[in-house]
């Protein structure tokens, strides 16, 4: 029996090298857990048929000495990341049987390193949601309390880690989709700097905001995955070299706290947990000071103008003609209408309508251009703040995971889930959610998360503070 709960990438790698267990044995252990839990949790939409074959090839790499640190590491991928020859449906009926004809850059890098890709995880329809309730394939349940959501849209990926159904996972983050579910599930979720990880082979939602992020149980695992997938890619014109941003070593980063931004609408237990963690950091001789982010509170309304506009443009290609679901119709327009009407879920249709409206003649300036102007103000807020501090600290979410069905019919409440995570996407900044404790709800203990944000390209600072934070988060 392999102790999956306490495995890390480095421990696993050493076990492979020292013959404690093989890649095939480890993958088989994960497959047992998946068989036991997946029917209840609905984490995986598919376990890839070649997973044991992948593990066998990884064992061969250890035999011939061609292994890397990621060789044989079982990883789950979100259903919107292309893996050649495998279905990638983006959690939607419109792409129900779409089989990827090429590998995404991140999958290619992981495959080249010898990682074992277990399967594709459930997600909100088209990555549009914060609870995984909009998925065309049913709701994923939170492993800590199956009556609650795991967060979204990368709910399946984060739940796979929390439930010991993968060692690490990939998600995508457009407004918090790696970090918010990471907080709800008690794991680590990274949103890298925009452009630091190639988007080639990621099914687009909002092209100026989308990023592929890593999810794991600890900072070290997330850093390792990020290091393997990051870097400039000629197939993605928005990708950047690893040395694009200048870096200087900072021994003790100064931490900024935007108290005015986090004072309203937050569960008192989250605020208490947050203040306790600030005191812990101060006890380790970190300087914590207040910072002002006057425009950050407008990130959600601006985000929900910019993102639907980009969604409406990106999803125009899904018309029932070239790939994906196609309904029969008497003429071309009928095919379009029926394919999209049946293929897209309710939330996706809502955002397409919003996006088309804000881009339409007469409203483009009033909404889309104004939202982009607000976006610039948000970017300037953070630029000014980072001249005074090295990191910015907030809670990841306003509360613990909510009940399935509790907010699904209230879009505004759902959208406000992005209040602390959305600004990082609007500004293109790296951010990470780290488990910060639990609150009790009846007999259940629900995880909370804390979020660090850093200047562009400073993932190293997130990993630096994150490792130290991990050492104190469960302390007295």
The tens digit of pLDDT for each residue in 175-222 reads: 999 999 999 999 999 999 999 999 999 999 999 999 999 999 999 999
Residue 176 near residue 143, CB atoms below 8 Å: no
Among 104, 135, 172, 177, which one carries the catalytic annotation?
A: 177
Q: Give 311-370 as a DSSP string.
A: HHHHGGG-SSSSSS-----SSHHHHHHHHHHHHS-HHHHHHHHHHHHHHSTTTIIIIIIH
Among 78, 191, 217, 280, which one carries the catalytic annotation?
A: 78
Among 15, 104, 131, 153, which one carries the catalytic annotation?
A: 153
Instruction: Return the pLDDT at 153.
Output: 98
Question: For residue 445, what are the domain limits?
Answer: 1-290+373-476
Q: Is residue 14 packed enough to be buried (19+ CB in 10 Å), middle (13-18) or exposed (0-12)? A: exposed
- If you search the block for the tokens 């629900």, which residue do you land on? 446
Instruction: Return the pLDDT at 475.
Output: 46
Q: In degrees, to the nearest 5, what angle opens at C-alpha 388 toward C-alphas 283 and 246?
A: 105
| Statement to judge: residues 380 and 361 lie in one domain | no
Distance CA 204, CA 22 (A): 37
Q: Identify whether 78 is a catalytic site residue.
A: yes
Per the structure, how many domains does the chain have? 2
Q: Identify whether 92 is a catalytic site residue.
A: no
| Statement to judge: residues 414 and 431 lie in one domain | yes
Does some domain include residue 296?
A: no
Give me 190's structure tokens.
Answer: 């990274």
pLDDT band of 145, cuts 50, 70, 90? very high
Mean of per-residue pLDDT scores for the chain? 96
Q: Identify whether 153 is a catalytic site residue.
A: yes
Once rounded to an integer, what is the mean pLDDT over residues 79-106? 97
Please choose, from the candidates 139, 168, 156, the residue with its C-alpha nearest in 3D space to the C-alpha of residue 75. 168
pLDDT per position as a tens digit, 244-290: 998 999 999 999 999 999 977 899 999 999 999 999 999 989 999 99
pLDDT per position as a tens digit, 333-383: 999 999 999 999 999 999 999 999 999 988 989 999 999 999 999 999 999
Tell me which of 365, 392, 419 is where a domain ends: 365
| Statement to judge: residues 326 and 466 lie in one domain | no
Instruction: Return the pLDDT at 476.
Output: 41
| Statement to judge: residues 217 and 360 lie in one domain | no
CATH number, domain of 70, equals 3.90.1300.10
| Statement to judge: residues 20 and 153 lie in one domain | yes
Q: Can you name the residues that pair with 434 across neighbouring β-strands?
A: 450
Give me 329's structure tokens.
Answer: 């119709």
Please choose, from the candidates 123, 130, 181, the residue with its C-alpha nearest in 3D space to the C-alpha of residue 304. 130
pTM: 0.97
């Amino acid at each position: 029996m392999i102790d999956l709960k306490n495995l890390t990438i480095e421990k696993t790698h050493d076990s492979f090298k020292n013959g404690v267990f093989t890649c095939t044995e480890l993958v088989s252990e994960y497959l047992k857990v998946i068989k036991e839990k997946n029917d209840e949790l609905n984490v995986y939409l598919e376990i890839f048929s070649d997973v044991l074959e992948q593990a066998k090839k990884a064992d061969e790499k250890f035999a011939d000495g061609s292994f890397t640190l990621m060789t044989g590491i079982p990883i789950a991928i979100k259903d919107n990341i292309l893996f050649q020859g495998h279905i990638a449906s983006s959690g939607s009926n419109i792409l129900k049987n779409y089989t990827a004809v090429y590998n995404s850059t991140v999958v290619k890098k992981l495959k080249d390193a010898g990682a074992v890709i277990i399967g594709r995880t459930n997600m909100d329809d088209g990555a549009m949601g914060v609870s995984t309730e909009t998925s065309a394939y049913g709701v994923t349940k939170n492993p800590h309390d199956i009556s609650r959501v795991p967060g979204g849209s990368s709910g399946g990926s984060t739940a796979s880690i929390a439930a010991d159904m993968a060692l690490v996972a990939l998600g995508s983050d457009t407004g918090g989709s790696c970090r918010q579910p990471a907080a709800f599930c008690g794991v680590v979720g990274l949103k890298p700097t925009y452009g630091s990880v190639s988007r080639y082979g990621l099914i687009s939602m909002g092209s100026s905001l989308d990023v592929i992020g890593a999810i794991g149980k600890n900072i070290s695992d997330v850093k390792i995955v990020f290091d393997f997938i990051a870097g400039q890619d000629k197939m993605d014109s928005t990708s950047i070299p690893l040395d694009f941003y200048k870096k200087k070593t900072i021994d003790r980063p100064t931490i900024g706290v935007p108290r005015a931004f986090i004072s309203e609408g937050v569960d008192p237990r989250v605020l208490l947990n947050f203040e306790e963690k600030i005191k812990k950091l101060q006890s380790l001789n970190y300087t914590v000071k207040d910072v002002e982010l006057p425009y950050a509170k407008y990130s959600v309304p601006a985000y929900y103008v910019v993102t639907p506009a980009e969604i409406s443009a990106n999803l125009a290609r899904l018309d029932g003609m070239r790939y994906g679901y196609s309904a029969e119709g008497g003429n071309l327009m009928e095919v379009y209408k029926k394919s999209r009407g049946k293929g897209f879920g309710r939330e996706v249709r809502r955002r397409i309508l919003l996006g088309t409206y804000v881009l339409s003649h007469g409203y483009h300036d009033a909404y889309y251009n104004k939202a982009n102007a607000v976006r610039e103000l948000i970017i300037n807020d953070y630029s000014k703040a980072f001249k005074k501090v090295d990191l910015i600290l907030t809670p990841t979410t306003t509360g613990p995971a909510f009940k399935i069905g509790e907010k699904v019919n209230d879009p505004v409440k759902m959208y406000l889930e992005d209040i602390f995570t959305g600004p990082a996407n609007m500004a293109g900044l790296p951010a990470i959610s780290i488990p910060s404790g639990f609150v009790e709800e009846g007999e259940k203990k629900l995880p909370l998360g804390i979020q660090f944000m850093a200047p562009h390209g400073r993932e190293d600072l997130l990993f630096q503070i994150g490792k130290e934070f991990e050492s104190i988060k469960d302390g007295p």
